[in-house]
Structure 1
Amino acid sequence: MQKRSWNSMSTIPITLSFLLFIFYFQKVFSAPSRHLCRPEQRDALLEFKNKFEIGNPSSFCITSHPKTESWVNNSDCCYWDGITCDAKSRELVSLDLSCSCLHGRIHSNNKLFNVQNLRFLTTLDLSCNDLSGWIPSSFGNLSSLTYLSLARNNFAGEIPSSLGSLLHLTSLDLSFNIFIGEIPFSLGNLSHLTSLDLSNNSFVGGIPISLGTLSHLTSLNLYDNNFVGEIPRSLGNLSHLTDLDLSCNNFVGKIPSSLGSLSHLAFLYLYYNSFVGEIPSSLGDLSHITSLSLSFNYFVGEIPSSLGNLSHLRDLSLAHNNFVGEIPPSFGSLSNLALLDVKSNKLSGSFPLTLLNLTKLSILSLSNNQFAGMLPSFVTIPLLDTLSLENNQHNDTREFGNIFSSPKLVELDLCNNNFIGPVPISIFKSVNLVTLDLGDNHLSGELPEIFFNGSNLRSLNVGHNQLVGKLPRSLASCSSLEVLNVEHNRINDTFPFWLESLQKLQVLVLHSNEFHGSLQYNPKVASWFPQLRIIDISYNSFNGTLPSDFFIYWRAISSEENRSELKYIGEQSYYKDSLVLMNKGVEMKYTRILSLLTAIDISGNRLQGPIPKSIGLVKNLIVLNLSRNGFIGNIPSSLTNLKELESLDLSHNKLSGKIPPALGALTSLSKVIFSHNQLVGPIPHGTQFQTQDASSFEGNLGLCGRPLSISCGDIHTEQTQEPESDEEEGVFSWTAASIAFAPGVIIGLIIGHIMVTKKPQWFIKISGVTRFYINATRG
């Protein structure tokens, strides 16, 4: 009995020890759970949160989430998303609400930004939201702040001068907003500032001289504003500056030579301004510079040879200025140069052979100058992938294809020179070739069958030469082709329906050749040339009638599309596709081709018969030119479906009857030409018709009304509109319906056959196939 009691007594110390251990364990490991957040800061943060709505994520953010959703009243604010507190002082030291989907205004009386609540705050990041309004002047009270970013919002108004009180600030980013006014002189007080970004706003005025006192500044970005005046010489005092971007403004005057003393400068961008004079030779002292762009200014004189001293330079752009003379031989010493762009100047002489030493050169653009003579072989530049010699005076008479047979070559532009002879077979040795522009030369002979390896070719221009023969059938191998231009040659062939295999073709220009034959065609697929947006086959010898379903298959011009997106064909390319198109009665040069531009030009041929009513299906069409043919009959009323149409030319045909009155309701129309037909009756009353010149309707003895001087009461207008052909209407309706309903008919026949001859299980199996067929057809 005693023994048993002893054992019971002996367990007491053990139990007590265990309990003490548990108590200690809980105390130690639960200690961090005590609240660090100061109540007044929590309340101010919650008030701040309630002032905003949660909107859509910013397009500038890879990932976005509303951080303030974790802010709840009964939790410790120091553990909320975007909040950092000092572990010892319990003070809020960082507020990061970037990419938090916040929408609304920051009010000047917000409790959060009073002195007491944020006196220890060092980081404030509100970037990439949808915040608006003015910056509260109370931001100047955040005396401990070292980092402030309000970038990529919709803040407006002027920068409050109180920001000049943030004496500990090292980084200030106000980019991508709609700020106005001048840079406050007080920003010159921020002696610790290392980065200042005011880009992409609407600031005006000049650069304050006080910025030249920011001795610790390493990056100054004023890109894309409305700044004016000259660059202050005081910027030459910023000895630690590595990045200086003043591009896309209205700066004038000369570049101060003091910029040459910025010995740490790596990036200098001054493009798109109005600088004048010569480039100071002191820029040749920027020994660490890697990227220099002075394009789109008014610099004159010769390019200083001192730029050849910039041994670390990788990108040099001097395009669109008024430089004269030759490229300095010293450029052959720029051993790290990857991009050299001197296009659109007045440079002359023969091709500078010293450039052949630049083994790292990838992009070379000498276009739009006055270079002349024979060219060297570019094979010695092993990394060269883009070469533009457009619009010079090169007149090589050799088998010049070997000159450009570099295996790395991707884009080759030799347009508008004096090259003669046949197109060399060797020019297409590079299987990587994406762009080939040989337009506006004196090339002759047939275009050879050189495109069997052209699966990467995106753009081909051989227009304005003296080529003969047929189009090479090897073009059908160019599965990536988007633009094909062979205009103004003597190519003698039928319409290349065989190019329907090119599923990416968007622009086809056969203008002014000797193409001939009928445009009657039975496509093998429901949509031939599915991406074609511009077709110009004008001034050839096509004849016969247009088939009634001619316009049914143009899917890219017929389907719904987002017309708010401004994209260009080949916009990812260094080479810019261009086009000359008859629009609104005049030839227009498009230096870049907007993907929304749609046009059909069949003018100047020998086509006859009626205009197919299927023309009403190409609803996105902007330019339609059917002039100078032999079309007869009525103007199809289905043209009124073309709500986007801006230019309509039906002149010099044999069209009869009245102009459909509903055409007057097409508000996009700015140019209509119906001259030299056999039309009768009143001209539609729409503004688009009444404001045209009278010449747009001349040569129609039966037309009357404004803008003609003939009143409709002065002539007999009892002629009736000729009835539209029921047969053609039937063909049009049936063809359109067959495209829309053929999949349903086929599926119905399949299902009917199965239900009659097979077991129901077969229907279940075939349903997956039919769903796939429907989706494929819709796609």
Structure 2
Amino acid sequence: MRIFTKLSAPLSLCLLLVFLCLKTAISSSIHASSFSTTHLCSHEEALALLQFKTSFSINYTVPHPDYPDYCVDRFYTKPNYSKIESWKEGIDCCSWDGVSCDNVTGHVIAVNLSCSFLYGTFPSNSTLFSLRNLQSLNLALNDFRLSKIPPEISQFTRLKHLDVSSSQFSGQVPREIAHLPKLVSLNLSSYFYDDSPELILETTTFRDLVHNLSEVRELVLRGVNMTSVNPRFFMNLSSSLTTLVLWESALRGNFPNSIFRFPNLKNFYLSGSFGERNLTIDLPSSNWSSPLQRLFLGDMDCGRRLRESIGDLKSLQFLYLGCNLEGSIPASIGNLSQLTYLSIFSNNLSGQIPPSLANLTQLTSLDLSYNQFSGPIPASIGNLRQLTFLALSSCNLSGQIPPSLGNLTQLTHLYLSYNQFSSPIPASIGNLRQLTELSLYFNSLSGQIPPSLGNLTQLTYLSLAHNQFSSPIPASIGNLRQLTSLHLYYNNLSGQIPPSLANLTQLTFLYLSDNQFSGMLPPWIFTLPLLEALHLDHNQFQGQISQFQQNSLTNLDLSNNKLQGSIPNSIANLVNLEILDLSHNNLIGKIPNCLPKSLSLLNLQANYFDGNIPFGFPEGCGLLNLNLHGNQMDGLLPRSLVNCRMLEVLDVGNNNISDTFPYWLESLPHLQVLVLRSNKFHGSVQSTKESPSFPKLRVLDLSSNDFVGALPVRYIENFNAMMDPHRDGGSPEYMKVSTGDNSYQYSLVVTLKGFDYELQGILTIFSSIHLSNNKFEGEIPDVMGKLSSLKGLNLSHNNLIGHIPPSLRNLTNLEWLDLSSNELAGKIPDELSLPMSYSLQLFQSVHFWWNLHFEIVNTWHCWYKSSSEIVK
């Protein structure tokens, strides 16, 4: 008994412990069973979600190229995957992608269908609204086909988070959205699309929203039209606000700067409409919101000066100020020790870059481009060893590029273009082995391109254009095997292209124009497999053009060299070629019949090509510009040119073409420049149509041919493009053809004051008529006075008779007028006998050679330089 008694206490304790463990296990089992049962979503809610699914199709044709990457990066979604694909009957809806349930009740409390490629009209009676326990709804980045946000959204009385950004909703934001009192975050933004549908937030709706959303912490309204909203209403927002995003929301007026004193504000983004300055905010001189971590102010005016108080924002990590600031950057900016991103891009800041920036040792990105600083880059910038991005372009900086930049070994992007830097590039730049882009163009850098650049083996983009570099290209550039773009144009580089550049097999763009390169064109240059644009123009290359062995070129410019021989038939291999300029060389022979059908521009001007112009312009010909000026072409003008329906410029001047006037060109609806000068064209210039048309023609040069008969009145009556001097509006532009990242300006030879000039660009407002040195007869038609946009009119050296029509007084844009060597009679009309001061305004270069039949009323013999701004 004593033994039993002695053992009974421990045994009893053991039994008690076993009992308690079993009870806990049973209780846990019962609770787990209960939990698993209640965790299943109700049949009604599952059915509501399945019916909602049937309202839309899935469309993986995304409206913006950045859309998939954005979804993956921000929302961690799979590429080309819609979450509703997992929504299937018979499976617990709480396990569906994008659906979350309450752990106790099993009710659906969150639906996240962001980036689910939903496509279709959002129904106002959607079954989604039956989910009355919903606390979070995310429909971002779908396509609801310009649907309106349904007012029924107010039925989600427990909703805390609502995100419908970039889902193609349009129209007015419903007032009912303000009846969601528990909202903590609201995002109505539009992100990607310039032509996105517009959401409009009216004053009354916004006022209700501000009044009712007493718990809101995040309010994101980027791209929402809030033109009618007075910015002062934002002061009534909840003091718990942490994030306010108002990019491109069309706000106007003065935004109160007390926003900076909100006690919990961490993120504030505010900008006016792009390109406008209708919104202002005065940066406070003190008492900034100390929690502020991210501040963005763009496309607006923020009080002109950046105050010293900016240094009080000790928590700031991100700062973007593009708001018309003037004055200097205060030294206190160096106090922002937490800053990782700083952009004061595109302002009017002056003075020197403060050395205190060197204190911002956490910076990874610094952009001060497009300002009016003076002096050099402070050497202390080399202390910012965390920088990966540095942009100081267009800052008016001068002096030497500091060698200390070589300390920034984490840099991937360095932009110092459009400044006044001089001296050679420091060799220390070769230390930046992580660089992928280096831009130094438009400076005054001189000396040799440093061989140390060959160390930058990660470079994909290198531009040293528009400087004063001399000597050959260092062979070490051939080490940059990742390079896709190499820009060395407008320098004084000499010698031959180094063979090591053949290693740059990733090159897409190679620009070596306007240098002093010489020797033969290296054959390997036409074998680079990915090359799209090759510009070797304005050098001293000699010899023949090599065979073309690759077909990726779209843009080839070998003009203004000393090339000889003929165009190889292998040009046909360049099946993607759009621009071909071989002008101003010594090329001979026939133009191949096998030119690529993809050509938009063909410029063979100023060579020695002979024979007929190829007759094979096929149906669908895409030529915009055909320039064969100054060769030895003969035969007829091929009628197959009518297949080139997009043709804007046709210049076959200074050849030996013998043909009648090509009236059949009337059918080309876009033809603006027609030059047939100095050939053997003959016959009359008359249309065979009852309603002749050259509706867009602005330049007509038929001079120095054998045309006879009356001036082409029926054509002149239809030169509509020459009749309105203000037809283009805005600033004049140059005619050009664009292919990808390249644009190419058209050129034109005109005769001014008896001399030929080559205009290196044809302004869209430029118009002229040259009919001189023919055998035209009869009178100058009165309708000539309707061509009010004419810059030049030359009817000299013909057999014209009669009087000068008074209607010529309407040609108020004339810069030169030549009626000499005709049989005109009478006197100069009083309308043209203007005071000399006024004649300078109207006729900047007027020269009349009057013959003896004139009764001299005024003698004008005034030569003025004409159109000097467009004559190179």
Q: TM-score range by the shorter chain?
A: 0.7 to 0.9
2:519 is aligned, of 330, 334, 349, to 349
* Aligned counterparts, 1:271-350, within 5 A: 271-350=441-520
Identify the structure with bigger relative contact order (alpha carbons < 8 Å, sequence gap 6+). Answer: 1
1:452 is aligned, of 618, 628, 637, to 618
2:728–2:764 CA contact under 8 A, matched in 1 = no
2:347–2:371 CA contact under 8 A, matched in 1 = yes
Determine the structure 1 residue equivalent to 2:581. 413
Residue 576 of structure 1, CA deviation:
2.8
2:413–2:435 CA contact under 8 A, matched in 1 = yes
2:779–2:802 CA contact under 8 A, matched in 1 = yes
1:76 aligns with 2:251: no
Instruction: Please give the root-mean-square deviation of Cα atoms over the aligned residues, in Å.
Output: 3.2
Distance 1:405 1:602, change over 3 A: farther
1:135 is aligned, of 306, 309, 314, to 306
Question: Take 1:519 and 1:673, find their aligned partners in 2: how far apart are those partners?
Answer: 26
Q: Deviations over 1:517-567 (max 9, x none)?
A: 1123254546x1212121222111212111444422111122341342232
| SS class of match (1:417) | coil
* Aligned counterparts, 1:236-255, within 5 A: 236-255=406-425
1:672 aligns with 2:835: no
Q: Deviations over 1:301-334 (max 9, x none)?
A: 1111111111100001111212222111111111
1:118 aligns with 2:289: yes
Question: Take 2:818 and 2:238, find their aligned partners in 1: how far apart are those partners?
Answer: 72
2:844–2:864 CA contact under 8 A, matched in 1 = no
Determine the structure 1 residue equivalent to 2:771. 602
1:532 aligns with 2:697: yes
2:580–2:603 CA contact under 8 A, matched in 1 = yes
Determine the structure 2 residue equivalent to 1:611. 780
* Aligned counterparts, 1:29-428, within 5 A: 32=182, 66=227, 69=230, 72=233, 74-76=236-238, 78=241, 82=245, 91-100=264-273, 103=277, 110=282, 113-129=284-300, 133-151=304-322, 153-378=323-548, 380-397=549-566, 400-426=568-594, 428=595
Distance 1:500 1:287, change over 3 A: same
| SS class of match (1:258) | helix
1:97–1:126 CA contact under 8 A, matched in 2 = yes
* Aligned counterparts, 1:682-721, within 5 A: 682-683=857-858, 692-693=862-863
Determine the structure 1 residue equivalent to 2:658. 492
Opposite residue 706 of structure 2, the aligned amino acid is: S
1:549–1:614 CA contact under 8 A, matched in 2 = no
1:480 aligns with 2:671: no
| SS class of match (1:154) | coil
Residue 292 of structure 1, CA deviation:
0.5
2:827 is aligned, of 653, 658, 668, to 658
What is the identity percentage for the equivalent residue pairs of Structure 1 and Structure 2?
A: 40
Determine the structure 1 residue equivalent to 2:36. none
Question: Take 2:689 and 2:683, find their aligned partners in 1: how far apart are those partners?
Answer: 17
Residue 586 of structure 1, CA deviation:
4.3
TM-score of the superposed pair, with normalisation by structure 2:
0.68
Distance 1:451 1:74, change over 3 A: same
Opposite residue 245 of structure 2, the aligned amino acid is: G
Residue 255 of structure 1, CA deviation:
0.8
Question: Take 2:856 and 2:327, find their aligned partners in 1: how far apart are those partners?
Answer: 59
2:505–2:530 CA contact under 8 A, matched in 1 = yes
* Aligned counterparts, 1:603-642, within 5 A: 603-642=772-811
Opposite residue 802 of structure 2, the aligned amino acid is: G
Distance 1:641 1:214, change over 3 A: same
Determine the structure 2 residue equivalent to 1:502. 668
Question: Take 1:342 and 1:28, find their aligned partners in 2: how far apart are those partners?
Answer: 61
Question: Take 1:28 and 1:444, find their aligned partners in 2: how far apart are those partners?
Answer: 80
Question: Take 2:278 and 2:181, find their aligned partners in 1: how far apart are those partners?
Answer: 39
2:362–2:386 CA contact under 8 A, matched in 1 = yes
Opposite residue 682 of structure 1, the aligned amino acid is: V
Residue 67 of structure 1, CA deviation:
9.6
1:469 aligns with 2:635: yes
2:540–2:561 CA contact under 8 A, matched in 1 = yes
Opposite residue 630 of structure 1, the aligned amino acid is: N
Stretches of structure 1 lacking an aligned partner (at least 5 in a row)? 1-21, 37-45, 47-60, 697-779
Residue 62 of structure 1, CA deviation:
8.6
| SS class of match (1:368) | coil
Opposite residue 421 of structure 1, the aligned amino acid is: G
1:65–1:99 CA contact under 8 A, matched in 2 = no
* Aligned counterparts, 1:18-33, within 5 A: 32=182
Residue 74 of structure 1, CA deviation:
4.6
Q: Deviations over 1:37-91 (max 9, x none)?
A: xxxxxxxxx9xxxxxxxxxxxxxx99875596465255436399627999xx951
| SS class of match (2:534) | strand
Question: Take 1:694 and 1:403, find their aligned partners in 2: how far apart are those partners?
Answer: 45
Residue range with higher mean Cα deviation, 129-138 or 336-345: 129-138
Q: Deviations over 1:462-498 (max 9, x none)?
A: 1111111110111111011111111110111122111
Residue 185 of structure 1, CA deviation:
2.4
2:555–2:579 CA contact under 8 A, matched in 1 = yes
Opposite residue 214 of structure 1, the aligned amino acid is: L
Distance 1:425 1:316, change over 3 A: same
Opposite residue 91 of structure 1, the aligned amino acid is: N
Question: Take 2:762 and 2:642, find their aligned partners in 1: how far apart are those partners?
Answer: 23
Q: Deviations over 1:549-607 (max 9, x none)?
A: 44221111223413422322125254332112123664332212221211111122221
Distance 1:321 1:117, change over 3 A: closer
| SS class of match (1:163) | helix
Residue 417 of structure 1, CA deviation:
1.9
| SS class of match (2:470) | strand
Question: Take 1:26 and 1:389, find their aligned partners in 2: how far apart are those partners?
Answer: 70
Question: Take 1:116 and 1:224, find their aligned partners in 2: how far apart are those partners?
Answer: 34
Question: Take 2:611 and 2:273, find their aligned partners in 1: how far apart are those partners?
Answer: 64
Residue 248 of structure 1, CA deviation:
1.7
Opposite residue 468 of structure 2, the aligned amino acid is: Y
Distance 1:28 1:347, change over 3 A: closer
TM-score of the superposed pair, with normalisation by structure 1:
0.75
2:272–2:278 CA contact under 8 A, matched in 1 = no
Residue 100 of structure 1, CA deviation:
4.6
Distance 1:322 1:216, change over 3 A: same
* Aligned counterparts, 1:726-737, within 5 A: none
| SS class of match (1:235) | helix
Question: Take 1:637 and 1:63, find their aligned partners in 2: how far apart are those partners?
Answer: 58
Distance 1:420 1:596, change over 3 A: same
* Aligned counterparts, 1:536-551, within 5 A: 536-551=701-716
Opposite residue 732 of structure 2, the aligned amino acid is: L
Distance 1:116 1:629, change over 3 A: same
